[in-house]
């Protein structure tokens, strides 16, 4: 079992907030993280949205506006290069709701926790591209109902496309985790599934994640150094 790119064909890469940190997008946990400034229970659960939609929509309006001013960094660019040139199966499973992988040029990207730049109509179930505010309860472009919410996965909701993710993990001979604390399931459990099925596992993170013991190899440092060094 090897984490060397020359020895593998099918790769799953899980990314988290740490890969976008050097682009200036806040992470969630740790010093300065979003959950230090906002209580999860107030802004990132369906119950919070039912209780105080304005607070939740403001929180997401602020973050939706912020990501549009940020740029991909060297780590996003390195993964885009890998994606473009990789002949085998490759899937970037991102927990991030920003679009920096796509803006760096990556194509094989799956957003398991949704996307800031989509609005989801809970009346007609259609997702529409969305860049502006949601707090004034605009009408759904599809059905006209004022039932739009951010298209993100809150605690207690099912992450997107889990079947597709597990299919890719089953085929993978290398599983790489980049910039995630390993605190949130089911994403945090993917390394164990990959490992149980025989894949080599590599972690690239600023500090050991909660699941560090499950990785064959851990490299510590900023993603903008570690990811290009791994890919190139």
Q: Which residues bind ligand BJW (CB under 6 A)?
A: 16-18, 21-22, 27-30, 33, 44, 95, 97, 113, 152-159, 179-181, 183-186, 205-207, 209, 222-223
Distance, CA of 186 to CA of 112 (rounded, Å):
10
Q: Which is nearer to ligand BJW, 89 or 110 (CB)?
A: 110
**Which residue number is nearest to ligand BJW in terms of Cβ?**
18
State the catalytic residue, choosing from 76, 101, 113, 116: 113
Q: How far is the CB of 223 from ligand BJW (least distance, A)?
A: 4
Q: Which is nearer to ligand BJW, 158 or 213 (CB)?
A: 158
Q: Which is nearer to ligand BJW, 160 or 171 (CB)?
A: 160
**76: annotated active-site residue:** no
Q: How far is the CB of 168 from ligand BJW (least distance, A)?
A: 18
Q: What is the edge-to-edge ordering of all strands in the sheet holding 148-152?
A: 127-129, 114-121, 148-152
Q: How far is the CB of 110 from ligand BJW (least distance, A)?
A: 13
Q: How far is the CB of 174 from ligand BJW (least distance, A)?
A: 19
Q: How far is the CB of 31 from ligand BJW (least distance, A)?
A: 10
Q: Which is nearer to ligand BJW, 16 or 72 (CB)?
A: 16
**DSSP letter string, the chain:** ----GGG-S-EEEEE-THHHHTTT---SSSTT-HHHHS-HHHHSSHHHHHH-HHHHHHHHHHHHHHHTT----HHHHHHHHHHHH--S-EEEEE---S-HHHHHT--SEEETTEEEEEEEETTT--EEE--S--TT-PPPTTT--S-EEEEE--TTSPPTTHHHHHHHHHH-SEEEEES--S-STTGGGHHHHHHHTT-EEEEEESS--TTGGG-SEEEES-HHHHHHHHH-
- Cα-based torsion angle of the residue sequence 78, 189, 3, 24 in order, rounded to the nearest 10 degrees: 20
Q: Which is nearer to ligand BJW, 75 or 200 (CB)?
A: 75
Active site residues: 113
């Amino acid at each position: 079992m090897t984490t060397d790119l020359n020895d593998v064909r099918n790769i799953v890469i899980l990314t988290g907030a740490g890969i976008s940190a050097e682009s200036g997008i806040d992470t969630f946990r740790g010093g300065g993280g979003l959950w230090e400034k906002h209580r999860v229970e107030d802004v990132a659960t369906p119950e919070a949205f039912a209780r105080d939609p304005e607070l939740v929509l403001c929180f997401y309006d602020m973050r939706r506006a912020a990501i549009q001013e940020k740029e991909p960094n060297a780590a996003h660019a390195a993964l885009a290069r890998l994606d473009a040139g990789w002949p085998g199966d490759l899937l970037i499973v991102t927990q991030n709701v920003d679009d920096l992988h796509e803006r760096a040029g990556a194509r094989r990207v799956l957003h398991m926790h949704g996307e800031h730049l989509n609005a989801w109509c809970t009346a007609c179930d259609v997702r529409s591209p969305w860049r502006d505010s949601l707090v004034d309860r605009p009408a759904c472009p599809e059905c006209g109902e004022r039932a739009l919410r951010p298209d993100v996965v809150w605690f207690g909701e099912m992450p997107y496309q889990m079947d597709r993710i597990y299919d890719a993990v089953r085929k993978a001979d290398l599983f790489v985790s980049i910039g995630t604390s390993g605190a949130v399931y089911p994403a945090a459990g993917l390394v164990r599934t990959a490992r149980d099925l025989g894949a080599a596992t590599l972690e690239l993170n600023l500090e050991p994640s909660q699941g560090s013991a499950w990785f064959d190899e851990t490299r510590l440092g900023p993603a903008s150094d570690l990811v290009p060094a791994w890919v190139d």
